[in-house]
Amino acid sequence: MKTISTNSVMADTKRDVKPFLKWAGGKGQLLDEIREYYPFKRYGIKKYAEPFVGGGAVLFDIVNTQQVKEIYISDVNRDLINVYTCVRDYSEMLIRLLQSLQNEFHPLATEDRKLYYMIKRNTFNRLFSDSDNKMERVEKAALFIFLNRTCFNGLYRVNRKGEYNVPMGAYKMPIICDAENLSEIAKRLQTVTIVSGGYEKAESFIDASTFVYFDPPYRPLTATSNFTSYTENEFDDEAQRALGEFIHRVHRKGAKFLLSNSDPKNSDENDEFFDELYRMYFIRRVKAHRMINSKGNGRGKITELLISNFEPYGE
């Protein structure tokens, strides 16, 4: 685990950073509602933990707007955490590789792009994020970003073998290398603890001065809506209940937490799964767009859950 500097990770005179990945289920559209829960000034909270960091929309918003002394992020997706680590530790090398990928990809015709994409996807699946070879880890990170920026809908999906299998999307000139943003993010991540593993690893970091945001894989609204396997293992109802037990422990530590998840009542008004699991906390239903559906008529406004152990009054 990286040693944390005593310097704060905070909003300052530097330019704002933005997520560098497209992410299915990303929280960009709910930031206004989520900001109402930021407890930093209200409760004197100085630490932030995000054990399902994903695309980092909330992380980067907090970095841009709040004064936080210590930040912890983790994710069970090893390849994703390798990207964050390489952005922090090897940003110049990573940017060079991304610029090369962008320069090679943009001039290609559609069929040539598809072939190029498949070659890079196959290479990505052969590389290892935990390799002892720094160059291999950075190449894996660069290909992760390339695939993310050029694939269908920004999905991250793997098969039972753990192989990434999303097809190419249809984009004219996708931004593969945003060098300025990545360089600034690298600076902001220098004092951030980045951990590969499950949410349980965050427990030693969390204390009464911590705000924890949980954004786990959402419970599917229907039996057919589980469009993606984020890792080789499913996050089923048993896993949701286990997370609930962990959140109870976080609450008992005195930490402030916010959890987001799907609202089962969108498809079954009698489904009380989360209402029962988190009945002792504040449960709020907010409007959101269903973004991932291959059919246009399967998209639209639904409600999602924001669950916390304090009321959302905002700063």
Q: Is 168 helix (H, G, I), strand (E, B) or coil?
A: strand
Q: Would you give the distance in Å from CA 278 to the centre of its chain?
A: 23
Q: How far is CA 263 from CA 121, 196, 266, 270, in A?
A: 34, 28, 6, 11
Helices 134-150 and 91-105 cross at an angle (nearest 10°) of 40
Of 63, 69, 62, whose CA–CA distance to 6 is shortest? 69
Identify the architecture of domain 9-76+210-219+235-308 in CATH: 3-Layer(aba) Sandwich (3.40)
Q: What pLDDT does residue 293 have?
A: 46
Question: Which residue has tokens 């669950």?
Answer: 307
User: Domain limits of the chain?
Assistant: 9-76+210-219+235-308, 83-180
Residue 135 phi, psi dihedral angles, 5° rounding: -60, -40
For the chain, residues with pLDDT lower than 50 are 1-7, 11-12, 225-228, 292-299, 315
Q: Would you give the distance in Å from CA 30 to the centre of its chain?
A: 14
> Is-above-0.75 flag for pTM?
yes
Q: What pLDDT does residue 1 have?
A: 43
Q: How many CB atoms lie within 10 A of CB 112?
A: 11
**pLDDT tens per residue, range 254-263:** 999 999 999 9
Measured CA angle at 64 (ends 45, 82), to 5 deg: 90
**pLDDT tens per residue, range 147-194:** 999 999 889 999 988 899 999 999 999 999 999 999 999 999 999 999
Residue 59 phi, psi dihedral angles, 5° rounding: -55, -50
Q: How many Cα atoms within 13 Å fall on the side-chain side of residue 129?
A: 21
Q: Tell me: domain 83-180, CATH 1.10.1020.10, correct?
A: yes
Question: Which residue has tokens 């980045």?
Answer: 194
